[in-house]
Amino acid sequence: MTDLHQRYQLRRVINACGKMTSLCGAAVLPEIAEVVHEGIQHFFELDDLQRAAGEVIAEATGSESGCVTACTAAGITLSVAACMTGDDLARVLLLPDTAGMKNRVLIQQGHCVNFGAPITQAIRLAGARVTEVGETNRCTAIQLRHELEKDDVAAVVAVESHHTVRHGWVRLPELVPLAHEYGVPVILDGAAQDQRLAELVEIGCDLVIASAHKFLCSTTAGIVAGQKDLVDAVYLQNRGIGRGMKAGKEAILGAMAALEYRMQQEMGEWTAEQDRKVQLILDQLSGVPGLALSVDPDPNGCPFSRARLTPDPQQSGLTARQLSDALGEGDPTVVARAHHADEGYIYLDAIEMTDADIQLACEKVRQILAGP
């Protein structure tokens, strides 16, 4: 087999960060890669393939329908577009000109995240106007109701992610019926929440968007699940602004295969394997001077945990940021989950790590903390 790292002079990566776009998503499972490999050798009618995908998405999530987009960010833009145009092709062809349409989208200010690009930009790409409601650490139903009472609101966008503020915002079980009281649909960015898709659909979100290339371990794609009329309107955008965001057969077939694999997967066994690997990290690093260890559950309720590493700068001579940077040096690079480095700790996310990866990463941690 060709060594792609050597062929293209690419640095080897030990992914201790998790399902990150910057690290090319996930390692595609063999069962999914097999379906994609078979599919890319054949022709299909794209509309027919998306129809089949919609049936699989509906079965897997409990939604009325679904479709596949190029990625989650594309799914956000196209979902916003769908809420403005509906099934009116004339309006689809006008975008991003939204004159004469309800074109304002509400988002709680604490949800205005940057996932590599601002979510507000993904909304504005459709031609919508963004209204940030509340303040960064506080948004109330009263503030949302004040905006919903105006007659130009096309949708509310909400985010389920570790990137959002952790408190002070209107949660989905309250937000969804509030928006629906005014006939306004709710779009949910749940990029890394594919393990909770059925739950999020059941809450009543009109369109739920997730990545196929995170925990579903598929080729790069976005999965849109929701009400059939809105899903149809999302897909209709491919005749307008969605043309530049269309999903190819490798994306659609990968998403379908991944969802079918998930439906027969024993999640209890999967979680137990992740727990075993986290414990292996703790065992490998136990007793390292100047390093405190603990385990944190996923903040959004997905069924796994991460190993937290908290270096003592006085004893180790390194801050969490410096430890993360040092791990990233060399070949292979060890990419830690450093979202909280400025708060004094980093994570080693074991989901994409083999036992050999864990051993190498932990040995590198020990060497760094031991000093020159």
Q: What is the pLDDT of residues 199-254, one digit of tens each?
A: 999 999 999 999 999 888 999 999 999 999 999 999 999 999 999 999 999 999 99
Asked if 12 and 6 count as a contact pair (C-beta separation under 8 A), the reply is no
Return the minimum-mean-pLDDT range out of 8-12, 151-155, 189-193: 189-193
State residue 65 phi and psi, 5-degree precision. Answer: -165, -175
Phi, psi for 21 (deg, rounded to 5): -60, -35
pLDDT tens column, 41-65: 999 999 999 999 999 999 999 999 9
Q: Give the pLDDT score at 303.
A: 87
Which range has the worst mean pLDDT, 96-100, 166-170, 222-226, 287-291?
166-170
User: Mapping DSSP to helix (H, G, I), strand (E, B) and coil, where does residue 127 land?
Assistant: coil
The pLDDT of residue 359 is 97
* Domain assignments of the chain as residue spans, ordered by start: 4-17+267-370, 43-264
The pLDDT value given to residue 207:
98
Q: How far is CA 370 from CA 138, 279, 366, in A?
A: 43, 22, 6
Confidence at 1, pLDDT banded by 50, 70, 90: low
Cα–Cα distances (Å) from 193 to 102, 163, 242, 288, 350, in that order, read 29, 13, 23, 34, 17
pLDDT of residue 2: 67
Is the pLDDT score of 86 beyond 90? Answer: yes
CATH of the domain spanning 43-264, picked from 3.40.50.300, 3.40.640.10, 3.90.1150.10, 3.30.420.40: 3.40.640.10
Pick among 3.60.15.10, 3.40.50.300, 3.90.1150.180, 3.30.1490.20: CATH of 4-17+267-370 = 3.90.1150.180
